[in-house]
């Protein structure tokens, strides 16, 4: 579903945000942290603490700002707000309405 109906910034925007290639991002991220977060097994603080396998710190607010901005930009380019805004609200405040 991601990147079809809803834009997923993981593939293009996130590597740029961290100043690396997509291949480098895949090699350096924690292997399960993002999935654990999306499934609700860990919270935002834990995701940010273990985002990278080597434990380097992540500026959570900067990451959220990038992701919300990327989703909103895509929604606007596609001609409306649509489902992308729901994804950004989930990240920002946990709401889906």
pLDDT along the chain (97 residues), means of 10: 64 93 96 91 94 94 88 57 45 46
Count of residues in the chain: 97
Report if residue 8 sits inside a domain. Answer: no
pTM for this structure? 0.68
Structure-block tokens of residue 2 = 């991601």
Domain count, the chain: 1
Closest CA to 19 of 52, 48, 68: 52
Task: Write down the pLDDT at residue 76.
Answer: 52
Report if residue 7 sits inside a domain. Answer: no
Contacts of 26 (CB under 8 A, 6+ apart): none
Report if residue 2 sits inside a domain. Answer: no
Report if residue 20 sits inside a domain. Answer: yes
Report if residue 27 sits inside a domain. Answer: yes
Task: Write down the pLDDT at residue 42.
Answer: 92
Provide the residue range defining the domain that includes 48.
13-93
Report if residue 58 sits inside a domain. Answer: yes
Closest CA to 32 of 47, 45, 18: 47
Report if residue 45 sits inside a domain. Answer: yes
Q: Give CA separation, 75 vs 6, 12, 63, 78, in Å.
A: 8, 16, 18, 5
3-state secondary structure of 29: strand
Report if residue 18 sits inside a domain. Answer: yes
């Amino acid at each position: 579903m991601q990147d079809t109906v809803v834009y997923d910034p993981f593939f293009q925007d996130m590597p740029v945000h961290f100043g690396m290639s997509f291949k480098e991002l895949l090699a350096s991220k924690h292997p399960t942290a993002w999935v654990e977060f999306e499934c609700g097994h860990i919270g935002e603080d834990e995701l940010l603490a273990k985002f990278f396998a080597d434990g380097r710190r992540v500026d959570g607010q900067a990451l959220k700002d990038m992701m919300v901005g990327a989703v909103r930009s895509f929604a606007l380019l596609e001609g409306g707000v649509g489902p992308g805004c729901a994804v950004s609200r989930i990240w920002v405040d946990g709401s889906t309405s």
